[in-house]
Amino acid sequence: MTPARAPAAETGLSTSTEADKSPATTKNHLANGSSGCCADSVDNDVELFDSKILFDLDFSNPASDYRGMDLCPKTPGKGLRMRALRRGDFQRGYVGLLGQLAHVGEVTERMYKDRFDGMRNCPNTYYTIVLEDEVHHKIVGAATLVVEQKFIHSAALRGRIEDVVVLEDRRGQDLGKLLMDTATLLSKTLGCYKVSLECKDKLVGFYRQFGYQVDLGNNYMIQRFRN
Ligand code: 16G
């Protein structure tokens, strides 16, 4: 569903634990409510947001046709689990998976955890939803909803869907559809007045099925400062 711009460029697996012994990590342990020297395994289970919000979504009328399969956040498919991104998901290949969507560059486990902590410290903003292969303990799909707080539209919320990607060898199993339905429904449930995404020309048809349309009269403009 997503173009493989850096196929298999990264595995996302790290054997180094040095970074986790740094003072900064200790501080993060304490900030996350854990204590002592054995807290790292606990910290690895910390979620970016409470997964419960996904299971409470009303999936009685999803935009997608799952060809008769009854997929939803609670039952995402055999051997799969849908949940919020966790602090330990670097080890489960989340960053490597992103490499199948876009240029990732060097992202160490330390960098991943620092970014995760930064996002988690902005409550009600970052909702990275993942699908975990529970057999192989690997992240096989992900999508992020970012909720922006606005003054306009009566101090409204506005959603952006970012970084939607399914592992190359798990495509064609409707995982992207389930992720998109979930992220879109979540934005609506959280009260966003609109939700948007950017995508390549060839994916316009894919995203239309979830209710997205090209916004005639509006343009997506960027300045790119670096890769
Ligand atoms: C796609 C992604 C966007 C991501 C961008 C990276 C979706 C729906 N869109 O447009 O989230 O930021 O690719 O492209 O997943 P870039 O590396 O050219 O910035």
Residues 109 and 147: beta-carbon distance below 8 Å: no
Within a domain: 221: no
Distances in Å between the Cα of 178 and the Cα atoms of 57, 167, 192, 210, 211 are: 12, 14, 20, 10, 14
pLDDT tens-digit map of 23-79 = 333 333 333 334 444 566 779 999 999 999 999 999 887 766 665 567 899 999 999
Ligand 1 centroid to Cα of residue 163, in Å, is 6
Q: How far is Cα 199 from Cα 55, in angstroms, rounded to an integer?
A: 27
Judge if the beta carbon of residue 162 lies within 6 A of ligand 1: yes
Q: The tokens of 205 are what?
A: 């048809």
Within a domain: 186: yes
Q: Fill in the amino acid letter for 180.
A: M
Task: Name the residue range of residue 55's domain.
Answer: 18-208
Within a domain: 1: no
Judge if the beta carbon of residue 164 lies within 6 A of ligand 1: yes
Quick one: pLDDT at residue 65?
64
Within a domain: 218: no
Within a domain: 71: yes
Judge if the beta carbon of residue 196 lies within 6 A of ligand 1: no
Q: What are the residue ranges of helices labelled H in 40-149?
A: 40-44, 52-55, 94-98, 109-120
Ligand 1 centroid to Cα of residue 178, in Å, is 19
Within a domain: 164: yes
Within a domain: 144: yes
Quick one: pLDDT at residue 67?
53
Kindly report the CATH number assigned to the domain that includes residue 145: 3.40.630.30
Ligand 1 centroid to Cα of residue 73, in Å, is 24
Judge if the beta carbon of residue 198 lies within 6 A of ligand 1: yes
pLDDT tens-digit map of 176-220 = 999 999 999 999 999 999 999 999 999 999 999 999 999 999 999
Residue with CA nearest ligand 1 atom 16: 102
Ligand 1 centroid to Cα of residue 102, in Å, is 7
pLDDT tens-digit map of 102-145 = 999 999 999 999 999 999 999 999 999 999 999 999 999 999 99
Quick one: pLDDT at residue 140?
98
Quick one: pLDDT at residue 69?
66
Within a domain: 12: no
Judge if the beta carbon of residue 102 lies within 6 A of ligand 1: yes
Give the count of domains, the chain.
Answer: 1
